[in-house]
């Protein structure tokens, strides 16, 4: 299947438009042909294209101006120019202005196809280089650090599932590394050179999520001045990672189900379907089965997503991995923070604290703790005082039963030597209110945010920050 899917041909000669439309359609491309540059610009504004093939000389708006205007607005567009005999200088100038290549008229249609294939290969290499730079030199499984049996089992499952395009549901508590699992499935698959697109479904307002995922046509709604490619189209040929899939509103659930059944999407405002080749990996920290029981998630979609369930273990269930992860984070933050003298390790006391702490926020909490420690350490070793107070402070606070103020230091209810930190007390109070709101709404985060009088996005951020499991709170209601 071609990397490029949609091609716009702009040429004032009907025979050229006809021949290119036939040849490119036979090769699997979606082709639209127009007669001049102004019509081409209108078409580019009405829907998304991967490639423009344009003549240099056209009425109304010539190919050079079309190139300039198109790349200014859509810089990712691949632009090819066609030039008649004697206008080679203009074609070379077009290349210097950003066109990928040119072909000289008269030409055989296969020449255009060959240039397109070269452009596709160049695009693949650019994407692969970008992916390698983003992810660093470590292999996909090496980034899921651990030697414990739960992690070794997870590695084995990823290796089995990566070569196929089966939909996978990744579950686990907040901060366990579900996106790393999705990336490993992608990078070990035949789709590795194609895009990996990640989206947090809970971080996008309900009114915009459909447009973000599936795209929209020009004029589909207020402010839709140009067409927009959705994330499914961006991920064509690769993998789309839907994090917090349980937050999808019902209309988007229906459209996602149709894609999983038919392999087709319909941008908002369009009256036709588009075929896309995308592997879906979804993730959630919520129990989708319980959401189905409460009527908040479609049962048919649940079964389509849950073909294979990969459970990412919490950090407390793999304590032998804690110090391995801590040392990996230590090495990384030494590089990223450009410390003059590196922090080389952990004191025995710090290691003991790290190993025995429960880590409710999982790997993300450990990562944040090590970053803090690298910033605050004065010597070559991380010592307990460099770690967050809740890790080294004596004892652990009981699970709050409701939104009550923590005991005031010095009061009969407060333990001797209780902290006088106002900042810590406010955090504990905030966490207790969030837990209470989630219990009252049976884990419904939208309603909980309304009770707390904060935005839905702010609530999601704080749930992750405190390592709260909304479904566990719902069960305590």
Does the pLDDT of residue 454 top 60, yes or no?
A: yes
Average the pLDDT over 97-110 and give the result.
Answer: 84
Q: Where are the domains of the chain?
A: 6-131, 150-313, 315-395, 418-477
pLDDT for 308: 94
Does the pLDDT of residue 260 top 50, yes or no?
A: yes
Closest CA to 253 of 297, 295, 307, 291: 297
State whether CATH 1.10.8.60 applies to domain 315-395: yes
Q: What proportion of the chain, given as a percentage, has pLDDT over 90? A: 40
CA distance 331 to 370: 10
Most confident region among 74-78, 264-268, 452-456 by mean pLDDT: 264-268
Closest CA to 296 of 464, 443, 453: 443
Average the pLDDT over 106-126 and give the result.
Answer: 81
pLDDT for 423: 65
pLDDT for 305: 95
Q: What proportion of the chain, given as a percentage, has pLDDT over 70? A: 88
Does the pLDDT of residue 321 top 90, yes or no?
A: yes
Does the pLDDT of residue 340 top 70, yes or no?
A: no
Please tell me which residue, 286 or 109, carries the higher pLDDT value. 286
Which of 32-36, 257-261, 384-388 is predicted least confidently? 384-388
CA distance 101 to 302: 46
Average the pLDDT over 122-147 and give the result.
Answer: 72
Q: Assign 196 a pLDDT band (cuts: 50, 70, 90).
A: very high
pLDDT for 135: 53
pLDDT for 189: 94
pLDDT for 191: 92
Does the pLDDT of residue 403 top 70, yes or no?
A: no
Please tell me which residue, 455 or 68, carries the higher pLDDT value. 68
Which of 58-62, 154-158, 314-318, 421-425 is predicted least confidently? 421-425
pLDDT for 198: 93
CATH superfamily ID and name for 6-131: Response regulator (3.40.50.2300)
Provide the CATH topology of domain 150-313: Rossmann fold (3.40.50)
CATH topology of 6-131 equal to that of 150-313? Answer: yes
Q: Assign 402 a pLDDT band (cuts: 50, 70, 90).
A: very low
Does the pLDDT of residue 144 top 50, yes or no?
A: yes
pLDDT for 158: 96
Alpha helix locations (H) across 13-108?
A: 14-26, 37-46, 63-73, 88-96
Does the pLDDT of residue 419 top 70, yes or no?
A: no
Residue-averaged pLDDT of the chain: 85
Average the pLDDT over 17-37 and give the result.
Answer: 90
pLDDT for 2: 59
Does the pLDDT of residue 304 top 90, yes or no?
A: yes
Model confidence pLDDT, tens digit, residues 345-361? 998 888 888 988 889 99
Average the pLDDT over 89-95 and give the result.
Answer: 79
Average the pLDDT over 277-303 and give the result.
Answer: 94
Model confidence pLDDT, tens digit, residues 207-255? 889 999 998 888 777 777 777 788 998 899 999 999 999 999 999 999 9
CATH of 418-477, one of 1.10.10.60, 3.40.50.720, 3.40.190.80, 1.10.3720.10: 1.10.10.60
Please tell me which residue, 396 or 167, carries the higher pLDDT value. 167
């Amino acid at each position: 299947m071609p990397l490029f899917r949609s091609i716009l041909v702009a040429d004032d000669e009907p025979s050229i438009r006809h021949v290119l439309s036939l040849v490119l359609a036979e090769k699997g491309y979606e082709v639209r042909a127009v007669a001049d540059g102004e019509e081409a610009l209108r078409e580019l504004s009405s829907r998304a294209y991967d490639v423009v093939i344009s003549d240099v000389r056209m009425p109304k708006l010539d190919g050079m101006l079309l190139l300039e205007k198109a790349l200014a607005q859509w810089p990712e567009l691949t632009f090819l120019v066609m030039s008649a005999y004697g206008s080679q200088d203009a074609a070379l100038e077009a290349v210097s202005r950003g066109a990928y290549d040119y072909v000289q008229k008269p030409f055989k249609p296969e020449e255009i196809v060959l240039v397109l294939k070269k452009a596709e290969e160049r695009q693949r290499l650019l994407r692969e280089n970008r992916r390698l730079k983003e992810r660093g030199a470590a292999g996909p499984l090496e980034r899921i650090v651990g030697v414990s049996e739960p992690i070794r089992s997870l590695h084995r499952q990823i290796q089995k599932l990566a070569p196929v395009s089966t939909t996978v549901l990744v579950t686990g508590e907040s901060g366990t590394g579900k996106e790393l699992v999705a990336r490993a499935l992608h990078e070990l698959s035949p789709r590795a050179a194609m895009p990996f697109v990640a989206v947090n479904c809970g971080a996008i307002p309900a009114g915009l999520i459909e447009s973000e995922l599936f795209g929209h046509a020009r004029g589909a709604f207020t402010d839709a001045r140009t067409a927009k490619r959705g994330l499914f189209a961006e991920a064509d040929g690769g993998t789309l990672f839907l994090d917090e899939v349980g937050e999808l509103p019902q209309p988007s659930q229906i459209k996602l189900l149709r894609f999983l059944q038919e392999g087709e999407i319909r941008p908002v405002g369009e009256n036709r379907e588009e075929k896309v080749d995308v592997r879906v990996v979804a993730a959630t920290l919520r129990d989708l089965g319980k959401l189905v029981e409460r009527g908040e998630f479609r049962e048919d979609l649940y079964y389509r997503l849950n073909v294979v369930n990969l459970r990412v273990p919490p950090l407390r269930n793999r304590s032998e991995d804690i110090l391995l992860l801590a040392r990996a984070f230590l090495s990384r933050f030494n590089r990223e923070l450009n410390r003059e003298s590196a922090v080389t390790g952990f004191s025995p006391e710090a290691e003991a604290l790290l190993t025995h702490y429960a880590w409710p926020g999982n790997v993300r909490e450990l990562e944040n703790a090590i970053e803090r420690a690298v910033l605050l350490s004065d010597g070559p070793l991380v010592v307990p005082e460099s770690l967050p107070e809740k890790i080294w402070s004596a004892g652990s606070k009981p699970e709050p039963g409701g939104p009550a103020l923590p005991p005031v230091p010095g009061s009969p209810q407060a333990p001797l030597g209780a902290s006088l930190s106002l900042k810590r007390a406010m955090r504990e109070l905030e966490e207790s209110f969030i837990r209470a709101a989630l219990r009252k709404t049976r884990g419904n985060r939208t309603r909980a945010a309304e009770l707390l009088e904060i935005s839905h996005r702010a609530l999601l951020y704080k749930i992750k920050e405190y390592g709260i499991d909304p479904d566990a709170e719902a069960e305590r209601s």
